[in-house]
Amino acid sequence: MAAQEPEAGQLHAANLLTDGLASCLTAAPSPAFSWQLGMDDDGDPALARQTGYELEVQDAQGTVLWMSGPVASSCQRGIPFGGSRLDDDADYAWRVRIRDGAGVTGSWSALQPFSTGLTDSSWQAGWMGRAPGGRAPLEILNGALRVAGSPFLPVPCPGLRSFQLEARLRPVMGRAGVLLRSSGPGTGLLLELGADGQVSLRHAPAWEIPGPAAPETPVLASAQATCAASGAWRHLAVSDDGRTIRVSVDGMELLAVDEPLEQSADQVPAGTIALHQGPRSQAEYASLRITGIKQETPGEREEFLLDHRFDAGSELALASLSHWSRTTAHRQPDEWTLFRSTLKLTGTVRRARLYAAAHHHAQLSVAGTPCLSTTSFGYPGEGYYDAADLTEVLAQHPADTPVPVTALLHWYGPGQGRAAGIPGLLVRLTVDYDDGRREVLTSGPDWTAGEAPYRQSGYRNDEGDPVEHLDGEAAASLNAAADLPAAIIPGRHPSSDFPRLHPRRTFLSGRFVAPQQFLTAGDGTMVADFGQVIPARPEIDFLDGVPGRTVMLRAGYALGSDGRVDAGKTASQNTDMSFPYTQASGLQHYRASVHLGFRYLELPGVDAAEVSRVGASTVHAGHPGEGSFSSSDPVLDSVFGLLRDSALYGVQEQFVDTPTREKGQFLADAANISYATMALFGEHAFTAQALREFAWSARRYWSAGEEKGRYNAVYPNGDGKRDIPDFSLMLPEWAEEYHLRTGDLALARELLPHLRDTADYALRYIPAEGPTAGLVTNLGGGSGPYLHGIVDWPTPGRFGYDMECAAKTTVNAQAYSALVSTARLCGAAGDEEAASRYAAAARALAAGVRTRLRVNGVMVDGLHADGTPSSHASQHATSFPLSLGITEPACAAADAARLAGMGMRQGPMTVHRLVRALLGQGMTDAVLDLLTSKDQPGWAQLLGRGATFTWEAWDLADGSDYSQSHAWSAAVLKEILEHLLGVRFSVPGGNEVLIEPPLCRLEHACGSVPVGNGYVHAGWQRRGGQVELECTIPPGVTATVRLPAGTYGVKGPGADAAVVRSASGDHQGAGATRDFRVHTGTWTFTPA
């Protein structure tokens, strides 16, 4: 009799991930493996839990390299490879089988292929660049000569012994500068005029981009001109007779400085006049006139005249500009480089991999096919690399035919969200043939590099973001046959500028979107309306361009009364949102490389008949999935949609302040957006990346003395070291939320040294005695409006908070949060001593908050330095302690009622604290008021004003640059899913959840929440004082269903489905509930 096949287990592994990626080409030498659980339709849901696994790793030939053997564990995430380190740039595969709840092992999963990446020593390649310089940052735009970021732009006239200069100009960002008596960069005297009318004459500084600012030098004289309207043109007059320099602004002489020229027989004539603009500074000239005496004819009274008009029409402006040197030897503010090489194939391609890293962004093409984009904005040693599979591309290429390899490198200069560093590109392309040979093309001296066809059109804003200006004519002339100079190779990888690279674990997504409608402005300008604010790159197909014509494409958030894009300060976030494009002839496809957030795109001077396609390509983080929510309240559903879009579009290469003005990763913004993306999209990778990067900031800038425990307020960044104290206190709570969502204890352990430092940082500022004893007082760090703590931002969001308090209630509450989160993570990591110590410190601080900061039954904003309590009792002062569990239970209900009665008196930055405080006391209807009321500040009011992306502040104050694409208030998506849908994680990783529908004025709600093993679905309807619920639990997840007390009919996924009920009895008390514990499957609970 034949042996009977052993019965297969109920579970199998699905959605296998290597180092967190489904398709991993850059695995570590010792990778980590993860999976979800799957079950066939005829499986027993009661057994759908993992009790063990067995994992196997093979090489490309199918040889087993390592087997875990049977492991008794429910863990499915981050299982470490236990074999010898894998080779770099090689192919492998793995599979796993699962033991179910009955202890029976299921079938093997299909093999999941993966490839290893490169360790730093394996690149065997050099970082490439080109010589600094190229097109000078001088451009005619909008009837003016725009000048930006350069230490020396010589005026086209001979050296002068004496002269008179007249200019009509305006400082746009920073100060407008003119070098006098100069013999080159860093020589002579620098005359500067600020937008505020401040005039100074000082010795010329020596500097080069990427310096963050021009150095200070001795000032010879300074004065203040009369104030003028913002953006007003000023008339500057300068005379220099070789002894005295006189300066007038708008007809009023401000300076008369005696500074005789020194003469020597071998001295180079010090008479050159040049324009000077420091980093992130920009000026515009409407006209420039110079009269003087030529130096080469001493003693001769020959008048020399330079008279350039840039505001008298484009023809005269371009004629004037033609006299200027259009090139510079100095590094440009916005450097674009084209690299080229070739690869010769010598056999049948079996496998090909391309690896690349760039500072800041590169797009690579092989055989004419765009195949890889890579971006790194970080500091040295904190950059990323990417990889692409080119097997199919190269296998189709004819043998013995050179394969062109090109790359476009864009270095933005230092700015918000970008460390400075130097431009660089690193490439390694490996080709394996079917005969076993491997050939490698690496970045090195055989590559060529030249300036790419982009003009230097200045800065968008004072954050250092350059204006992208593609020159179609230059691009057309730069054909594949054009010779380029050899690339410069400053060093091989790793080097001091690029000591280490990390494989990227986050990726972008996006799609082409067409406008929802086309509008026509009053002057006939075509305006594309995309229907909502999107982070995107404009794309336009022109049927036939006009050679040399510059089309000033302009994006924006709003339209003016004339129907054109509103370019005003508030409407544009004080950002030049133009995309100048200089056309070539014939059919051409304009594709922007840099994204902005916008809703409208105008095409001035372009007729509809000239274009065949207008649209944009959206740019946002790629996420593994997406939950959902809908309810009986259409306003709430619209608010949810607003929050969802904002959270999605608030992340590009990193979490951002805004995709338009400040693309930097601010800590508070990142934490808030992360709460939303983790809850709704199941996002983990961007959060892990951000947490690591802020930990890197601590290592770089905040690792010693009193500063230890802080983090940069924004990181990476072009302006180096700066913190906001209460931002630093947010990181432990954020790290704990990440651990709850993922169960990733490895990252928690990696972060814990920094988290402990942060807890200790807070404790250092708690005096043992004195007027504020027992409370965090004057927490070290910050400056200006952020000194000792920001509380809320922008300023209107503070709603009158007493910033003079030395011991602020909000700061103390967040210090408590840092202590308890650090304590719990120490406990999870097995450090019980540290956990106990920080928990005790948290309890002591909470006691101090309760006893010292409650006055006449109300929480006040804090204590002043002399110990007197603030006379102001803000909503923040009550919501922060209540949301974090500090408030004594006897006061919690009254505090919640007070909060509800105040309406919305917190800004978008901290509103999630208010929502959590109310929900913690069961005041769901009060939260619904906050979410849906159009009569007070909040999301519904934003919708009523036409917002399609959440704002930085509830109101756009006239003259401010508050962002209209700011996702930090999207944090409350977490609370909507956890408390209005009613699905919350009970254990790290989400393998146990609590489903607790609220009793509130909503009639019904339904939706889904991503968990480690898929999605928990829930839909409920209110039935008087009870709730009818249907929920679906994925394999590997157990749920506790908590319903209002009463009798329920329960139906499970099968006739014998098991449910563990709480004891029934008399539930007469208010808020009484009943629990049911259920396993995998679909369950319904119907009130009897």
Identify the DSSP state of 333: S
pLDDT at 624 over 90: yes
Residues 270-284: pLDDT tens digits? 589 999 999 999 999
CA distance 504 to 935: 45
- For residues 417 and 461, membership in a common domain is answered with yes
Residues 483-503: pLDDT tens digits? 899 999 999 999 999 999 999
Whether residue 623 is contained in a domain is answered as no
Whether residue 131 is contained in a domain is answered as no
Q: Which of 294, 328, 362 is the last residue of a domain?
A: 328
In the structure encoding, which two tokens stand for residue 731, read together?
């990181």
- Pairing, β 992-995 against β 1038-1044: parallel
Residues 199-242: pLDDT tens digits? 999 999 999 999 989 999 999 999 999 988 888 999 999 999 99
CA distance 273 to 290: 10
pLDDT at 299 over 60: no
Three-state secondary structure of 956-1011 = CCCCCCCCCCCHHHHHHHHHHHHHHHCEEECCCCCCEEEECCCCCCCCEEEEEEEE
Residues 342-356: pLDDT tens digits? 999 999 999 999 999
pLDDT band for position 916 (50/70/90)? very high
Question: Across residues 885-906, what is the average pLDDT?
Answer: 98
Q: CATH code at 513?
A: 2.60.120.260
At 678, is the secondary structure helix, strand, or coil? helix
CA distance 472 to 469: 9
pLDDT reported for residue 400: 82
- For residues 57 and 33, membership in a common domain is answered with yes
Q: Which domain holds residue 348?
A: 335-504
pLDDT band for position 303 (50/70/90)? confident
Name the more confident of 245 and 479.
Answer: 245
C-alpha pair distances (Å), 411 with each of 2, 114, 362, 425? 71, 32, 9, 10
Structural domains of the chain, count:
6
CA distance 602 to 559: 10
- For residues 474 and 541, membership in a common domain is answered with no
What is the distance in angstroms between the CA of the first residue and the CA of the last residue of the chain?
Answer: 55
pLDDT reported for residue 7: 63
pLDDT at 300 over 70: no
Contact yes or no for 701/720 (Cβ under 8 A): yes
Q: Which residues contact 354 (CB under 8 A, 6 or more apart)?
A: 364, 366, 371, 372, 387, 388, 390, 427, 428, 429
Contact yes or no for 858/878 (Cβ under 8 A): yes
- For residues 753 and 799, membership in a common domain is answered with yes
Identify the DSSP state of 355: E
pTM of the predicted protein model: 0.96
Range of weakest confidence among 457-466, 865-874, 885-894, 1065-1074: 1065-1074
- Pairing, β 1026-1033 against β 1014-1023: antiparallel
Q: Identity (one letter) of the amino acid at 296?
A: E
Whether residue 626 is contained in a domain is answered as no
C-alpha pair distances (Å), 815 with each of 407, 767, 792, 886, 1052? 48, 14, 16, 11, 45
- For residues 30 and 47, membership in a common domain is answered with yes
Q: Identity (one letter) of the amino acid at 92?
A: Y
Residues 364-376: pLDDT tens digits? 999 999 999 999 9
Name the residue among 629, 748, 640, 639 with its Cα closest to residue 687: 748
- For residues 195 and 225, membership in a common domain is answered with yes
Name the residue among 377, 348, 352, 317 with its Cα closest to residue 144: 317
- For residues 602 and 484, membership in a common domain is answered with no
Whether residue 627 is contained in a domain is answered as no
Range of weakest confidence among 291-300, 927-936, 1024-1033: 291-300
Alpha helices in 714-744 (DSSP H): 725-742
Estimate to the nearest angstrom the gap between the alpha carbon of 213 and the chain centroid.
24
pLDDT band for position 298 (50/70/90)? low
C-alpha pair distances (Å), 1052 with each of 153, 447, 1006, 1032, 1034? 78, 66, 19, 10, 13
Whether residue 5 is contained in a domain is answered as no
Crossing angle of helices 685-701 and 725-742, in 10° steps, is: 140
Whether residue 2 is contained in a domain is answered as no
Name the more confident of 244 and 1056.
Answer: 244
Name the residue among 657, 779, 679, 781 with its Cα closest to residue 737: 679
- For residues 55 and 142, membership in a common domain is answered with no
pLDDT reported for residue 5: 44
pLDDT reported for residue 9: 78
Whether residue 609 is contained in a domain is answered as yes
pLDDT reported for residue 483: 86
Question: Across residues 881-896, what is the average pLDDT?
Answer: 98
- For residues 769 and 902, membership in a common domain is answered with yes
Mean pLDDT of the chain: 95
Name the residue among 711, 644, 717 with its Cα closest to residue 681: 644
pLDDT reported for residue 1065: 45
CA distance 10 to 44: 7
- For residues 180 and 305, membership in a common domain is answered with yes
- For residues 668 and 813, membership in a common domain is answered with yes
Q: Which of 308, 328, 348 is the last residue of a domain?
A: 328
What proportion of the chain, given as a percentage, has pLDDT over 90?
92
Q: CATH code at 1056?
A: 2.60.420.10
- For residues 201 and 320, membership in a common domain is answered with yes
pLDDT reported for residue 589: 97
Residues 934-988: pLDDT tens digits? 999 999 999 999 999 999 999 998 889 999 999 999 999 999 999 999 999 999 9
Question: Across residues 803-815, what is the average pLDDT?
Answer: 99
Kindly report the CA angle at 879 between 877 and 882, in degrees rounded to 5? 110
Name the residue among 524, 512, 535, 671 with its Cα closest to residue 599: 535
Q: Which of 295, 328, 361 is the last residue of a domain?
A: 328
CA distance 1074 to 1067: 9
CA distance 993 to 1083: 14
Q: CATH code at 106?
A: 2.60.40.10
pLDDT reported for residue 771: 98
What proportion of the chain, given as a percentage, has pLDDT over 70?
97
Q: CATH code at 805?
A: 1.50.10.10
Whether residue 128 is contained in a domain is answered as no
pLDDT at 4 over 70: no
